[in-house]
Structures are given as structure tokens and as C-alpha cells.
């Protein structure tokens, strides 16, 4: 296994240290009390301490069990049957946004291939309730590929969200190894009527030209916002890290992405899909 470089260990350590602060603990306690799981914890995000300190979190709806077995992800896999969507989840999510006085909320989900619509109706209900009870909030929905059932995508788009996100995760040549059930072409389906967003993990063995090819494909379908971050293997059983690009590498890719028309880009080793999402959205809106 490739050893994590000292500079990256230091970055992760500083970010995780914030998790032990009083404000982060307060945010965590509130999330626990409202039974709202976060992708911050389920995916073991290294930024969760920093975000919790700022009263920010990315909530996870539709349960915490994914029906797929991607080799990069720490979210619990479908060894157990996922529970039906929780009827009170829209209200709980709305209450969380109100109590934390959130102006921007990112919500995500595990893939739910067991649901006929991939969870679209439930996602829509959650978003509508959040916006209804918090009129000034902006909601970003980071969704799965709905199992290719894109006839249900308008259900989500009509809920009033400001950003639709779906991550490509990696380059086409690695899909079979890293996310075997997903399809690259299917993940390129976007809705250009609103801001759209995608993200890639780096360090899986991809080449720079492969990354740039994905970015060009994303622009062809009018993807507006982009995140690029380092893949960190959750355990020795997950897909191994093949490289640790430096910040200069990310800066060059960011410059390229902006040059081909992306409206906003976050790029760096600890950048994740929802990292500084509000800032990225506001910069894109100008």
C-alpha cells in the first residue's frame, strides 16, 4: 500500500483536530438528537471537524445503506436490506436547517436501486419541506444516478433546488474496477436548466489527459461546477491509492477547467463534493 506523504498527514490532522472543539461537538449533538445521519461521518470525510466548527454539515437522506458495492466508498453496503424511506425525514431535515439557521444546505443519499424511482419522490419531498419552512435557504441535492431511471429526474428538479449534483467519481477506464455497477455515459445525464455540479477523486491511477477528457465531457452536457479531491482509501480492503498529487497539480487542473467554461471549481487534496458548497455556488452566480 502506498504510504500517505507527511504533508498530507499534516493537512488531515489539522482538519480532524477541529472535530474536538466545543462548536463541533454542539453540531454533532444536534445532529444525533435529530437522528440525521451525515455523509461527513458515514464517508469518513477528513473535513467534518472544520465544517462542524462552522455549523455546516451535509445531511444524508434515504438511510445509510447503499445498494451498490463501489470499492472506494466507506458508506455501509447492502449486506442488510435498506429500510423504506422515513416518513418524518422531510420534517427532521427542515427542523435541522431552521435550528442551525442554515442559508445553504447540501443533502446527499446512498444509491437506492431497491426503490422503483431510485428515491426521487422522497428526495423531492425532503427538498420541498426544507424550502417551505426555510424560504431563504438554497438547497443542493447530490443524487445517485437513479439507476438510469431519468424519467424521474424532473420530480427532483421541480422541488425548488438551486443545484443538482452527481459525481462522475473517476475516469471511464477505471469504472469497472472502482464502481462496477455505475455507467460512465449514464452519469453524464444532467439538467442544464439549473446549476449542475460534479466531482472526481484523484489518485486512483488515472492520467492527467483522462481527467481533462472527463472535464470536457462534463462541459458538453453543460455542467457548471466542479470539485477535485484526493482519494483516501477508507481501509486496506478498499481500492488502493495509486498517487498523491500535490496542490500544484490541482491548481493546473482548476485553471484548465475554468478555461473550458466551468463557472466554479474547488480543487485540492482535502476537497470533497460538498466542500465550501455555498461559496462555490455564490461565486458561480456572480
Range of 217's domain?
A: 6-285
pLDDT of residue 235: 82
Cα–Cα distance between 271 and 286 in angstroms, integer? Answer: 22
* CA gyration radius, the chain: 18
Q: How many residues does the chain have?
A: 286
Residue position matching grid coordinates 472535530: 19
- Torsion angle (degrees, nearest 10) of CA 57, 60, 61, 63: -140
User: Strands 264-267 and 225-230: what pairing?
Assistant: parallel
* Residue 210 placed within a domain: yes
Number of domains, the chain: 1
* Residue 56 placed within a domain: yes
* Residue 1 placed within a domain: no
Cα 50-53-56 angle, rounded to 5 deg: 85
Intervals of the chain under pLDDT 50:
none
3-state secondary structure of 157: helix
| CA atoms lying within 13 Å on the CB side of residue 186 | 16
* Residue 191 placed within a domain: yes
Dmax of the chain from CA atoms?
Answer: 49
Written as one string, the DSSP assignment of 166-234 is: ---BS-GGGHHHH-TT--HHHHT---TTSEEEEEEEE-SS--HHHHHHHHHHHHHTT--EEEEEE---S
Looking at residue 73, which CATH number applies to its domain? 3.20.20.70
* CB contact at 8 A, 31 and 8: no
* Residue 243 placed within a domain: yes
The residues facing 169 across adjacent strands are 200
Cα–Cα distance between 138 and 199 in angstroms, integer? Answer: 20
| CA atoms lying within 13 Å on the CB side of residue 52 | 27
pTM here?
0.87
* CB contact at 8 A, 238 and 72: yes
* Residue 189 placed within a domain: yes
* Residue 246 placed within a domain: yes
Cα–Cα distance between 244 and 135 in angstroms, integer? Answer: 42
Cα–Cα distance between 49 and 51 in angstroms, integer? Answer: 5
pLDDT of residue 82: 87
What is the per-residue pLDDT across 68-88, written as a single tens digit (0 to 9) for each? Answer: 877 777 666 655 688 899 999
Extract the C-alpha cell encoding 228.
477535485
Amino acid at each position: 500500500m502506498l504510504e500517505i506523504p507527511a504533508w498530507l498527514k499534516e493537512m488531515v490532522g489539522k482538519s480532524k483536530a477541529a472535530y474536538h472543539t466545543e462548536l463541533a461537538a454542539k453540531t454533532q449533538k444536534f445532529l444525533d438528537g435529530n437522528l440525521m445521519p451525515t455523509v461527513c461521518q458515514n464517508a469518513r470525510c477528513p473535513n467534518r471537524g472544520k465544517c462542524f466548527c462552522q455549523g455546516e454539515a451535509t445531511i444524508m437522506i434515504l438511510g445509510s445503506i447503499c445498494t451498490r458495492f463501489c470499492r472506494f466508498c466507506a458508506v455501509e453496503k447492502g449486506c442488510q436490506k435498506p429500510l423504506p424511506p422515513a416518513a418524518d425525514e422531510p420534517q427532521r431535515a427542515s427542523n435541522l436547517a431552521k435550528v442551525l439557521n442554515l442559508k445553504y444546505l447540501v443533502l446527499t443519499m446512498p444509491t437506492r436501486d431497491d426503490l422503483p424511482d431510485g428515491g426521487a419522490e422522497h428526495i423531492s419531498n425532503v427538498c420541498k419541506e426544507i424550502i417551505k419552512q426555510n424560504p431563504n435557504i438554497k438547497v443542493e441535492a447530490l443524487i445517485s444516478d437513479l439507476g438510469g431511471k431519468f424519467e424521474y429526474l424532473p420530480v427532483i428538479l421541480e422541488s425548488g433546488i438551486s443545484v443538482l449534483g452527481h459525481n462522475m467519481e473517476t475516469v471511464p477506464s477505471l469504472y469497472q474496477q472502482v464502481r462496477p455497477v455505475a455507467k460512465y455515459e449514464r452519469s453524464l445525464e444532467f439538467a442544464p436548466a439549473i446549476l449542475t455540479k460534479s466531482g472526481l477523486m484523484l489518485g486512483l491511477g488515472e492520467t492527467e489527459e483522462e481527467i481533462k477528457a472527463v472535464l470536457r465531457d462534463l462541459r458538453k452536457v453543460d455542467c457548471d461546477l466542479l470539485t477535485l479531491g484526493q482519494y483516501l482509501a477508507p481501509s486496506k480492503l478498499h481500492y488502493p491509492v495509486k498517487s498523491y498529487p500535490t496542490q500544484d497539480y490541482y491548481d493546473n487542473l482548476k485553471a484548465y477547467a475554468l478555461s473550458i467554461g466551468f463557472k466554479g471549481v474547488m480543487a485540492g487534496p482535502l476537497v470533497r463534493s460538498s466542500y465550501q458548497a455555498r461559496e462555490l455556488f455564490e461565486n458561480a452566480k456572480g
